[in-house]
Amino acid sequence: MASRKLLLLPGDGIGPEIATEAQKLITVLNEATEGGFEIESGLVGGAAYDDCGEAISDTTMELAQASDAVLFGSVGGPRWDGVPYEKRPEAGLLRLRKEMGLFANLRPAICYPALADASSLKRHIIEGLDILILRELTGGVYFGEPKEIVDLGNGQKRAVDTQVYETYEIERIARAAFELARTRRGKVTSMEKRNVMKTGVFWNEVVSRVHREEFSDLTLEHELADAGGMKLVREPKQFDVIVTDNLFGDMLSDIAAMLTGSLGMLPSASLGKPDDASGRRKALYEPVHGSAPDIAGQGIANPIAMIASLAMCLRYSFAMTREAEALEAAIADTLNDGIRTGDIMAEGCRKVGTSEMGDAVAERFRTGLA
Ligand SMILES: NC(=O)C1=CN([C@@H]2O[C@H](COP(=O)(O)OP(=O)(O)OC[C@H]3O[C@@H](n4cnc5c(N)ncnc54)[C@H](O)[C@@H]3O)[C@@H](O)[C@H]2O)C=CC1
Ligand SMILES: CC(C)CC(=O)C(=O)O
Ligand SMILES: [Mg+2]
């Protein structure tokens, strides 16, 4: 009997290609475990806009709210460059994040041993890397009002985006960071720009207070986000958990992706309040990368970020630790066996496409679960 409800939103570009590979892994799980997964699919992004004129419909939003977890591919692409700003593909993802209250975005950057030479950085800098970027996901400049382009009437215009943070938003992401650090190496680095932004001053103040009052046994360090980015590339292993706002987290996690070898390797989990009125923690799992229009439709995208996002889903939404670990081990084994998509290709390895990579992980996952 199916008891776990997943909503699959493949989206645009490479989204549907990598979502198909995640489905293969769910099929393996359903064959190997009790009380399988029931998958419903929906449209989001440009695909939804083409279908109903919105980046996500109210019906799909209701399905997302009612699901145990959402598995999301990616949205966007040049095809929708001309659509009204409120209806652009990315608006569908922002609506999901905001209305589901997914404030905590976990973006782990782990360098698999087999990929230590795939990064643009030297092996000794990234070998053994295991850091976690915790990005605040429902506040800050992506959501603050006003957000507008105003015609000043004198041949000039003014564009405004607003960075806003309230106490509770910083407190809850700070607590999440310390709680995660407690299960890891006990260190949190908070990144903001207190030297030029009021929100940076406030962020620093609130994170420091939460640390002092509730988590003083853990280590807290502060970095200005620009220098933090530099240190992420110069000496990434000095970090454990990095907690930062929506915009800096977006940028720093794309940078961190390259420490792992490719943007195609970085998964993420976006989590809501643990004590949601629905009785379960709302959650969405997606790769960190976008719809990669430059390689879409060619069957060459790396599906590992999507598959590793499914592993995070098993761990955080269903407490299926054994299965999550088996899936991560299947990814590591596949890489150890020299199977690579083009973005992480190395000498002596076998180059495969999206579907073959999914098959290779599925085969090892099946063996691991047996
Ligand atoms: N969560 C989401 O749905 C996101 C959507 N976007 C949207 O995606 C579109 C394209 O944005 P870009 O700036 O090009 O970022 P992108 O992340 O889609 O691609 C950046 C580069 O990384 C490569 N890449 C990304 N994922 C890969 C994978 N799985 N395997 C191999 N190579 C991969 C791409 O080929 C490209 O060269 C835009 O419309 C953007 O707004 C961007 C980021 C996140
Ligand atoms: C809304 C997304 C396109 C923003 C982004 O790049 C991300 O969340 O990684
Ligand atoms: Mg991004």
Q: Nearest residue CA, atom 5 of ligand 1?
A: 290
Does ligand 2 lie within 6 Å of residue 250's CB atom? yes
Q: Which ligand is nearest to the CA of 75?
A: 1
Half-sphere exposure of 99 (CA within 13 A, CB side): 16
Q: Which of 122, 168, 198, 226 is flagged as catalytic?
A: 226
User: Which residue positions in the chain have pLDDT lower than 70?
Assistant: 1-2
Q: Nearest residue CA, atom 39 of ligand 1?
A: 76
Tokens encoding 90: 């990315």
Give pLDDT, residue 111.
Answer: 95
Contact 144, 165 (CB under 8 A): no
Per-residue model confidence as pLDDT tens digits over 27-68: 999 999 877 999 999 999 999 999 999 999 999 999 999 999
Does ligand 1 lie within 6 Å of residue 264's CB atom? yes
Distance of alpha carbon 316 from alpha carbon 324, whole angstroms: 9
Does ligand 1 lie within 6 Å of residue 268's CB atom? no
226 classed as catalytic: yes
Q: Report angle CA 298, 41, 362 to the nearest 5 degrees.
A: 60
Tokens encoding 81: 């460059």
Give pLDDT, residue 190.
Answer: 99
Q: So where are the chain's domains? A: 1-103+272-370, 108-267
Same CATH topology for 1-103+272-370 and 108-267?
Answer: yes
Q: How far is the CA of 245 from the centre of ligand 3 (A)?
A: 13
Helix (H) or strand (E) holding 39: strand 37-41
Beta strands in 52-197 (DSSP E): 69-74, 104-110, 130-136, 144-151, 157-162, 187-192
Select the CATH number that applies to the domain covering 1-103+272-370 from these four: 3.30.70.20, 3.30.70.250, 3.40.718.10, 3.30.420.40: 3.40.718.10
Q: Which ligand is nearest to the CA of 45?
A: 1
Per-residue model confidence as pLDDT tens digits over 202-241: 999 999 999 999 999 999 999 999 999 999 999 999 999 9
Residues annotated in a binding site for substrate: 97, 107, 135, 226
Give pLDDT, residue 2.
Answer: 53
117 classed as catalytic: no
Q: How far is the CA of 91 from the centre of ligand 2 (A)?
A: 10
ipTM: 0.99
Q: How far is the CA of 289 from the centre of ligand 1 (A)?
A: 5
276 classed as catalytic: no
Give pLDDT, residue 335.
Answer: 98
Q: Which of 68, 112, 165, 193 is flagged as catalytic?
A: 193
Q: How far is the CA of 369 from the centre of ligand 2 (A)?
A: 33
The candidate with the shortest Cα–Cα distance to 352, out of 368, 369, 338, is: 338
Give pLDDT, residue 120.
Answer: 87
Give pLDDT, residue 33.
Answer: 83
| Partners of 70 in the β-ladder | 7, 284
Residues 6+ apart with CB under 8 A from 370: 32
Longest dimension (CA), the chain: 71
Distance of alpha carbon 176 from alpha carbon 184, whole angstroms: 13
Does ligand 1 lie within 6 Å of residue 361's CB atom? no
Q: CATH for 108-267?
A: 3.40.718.10
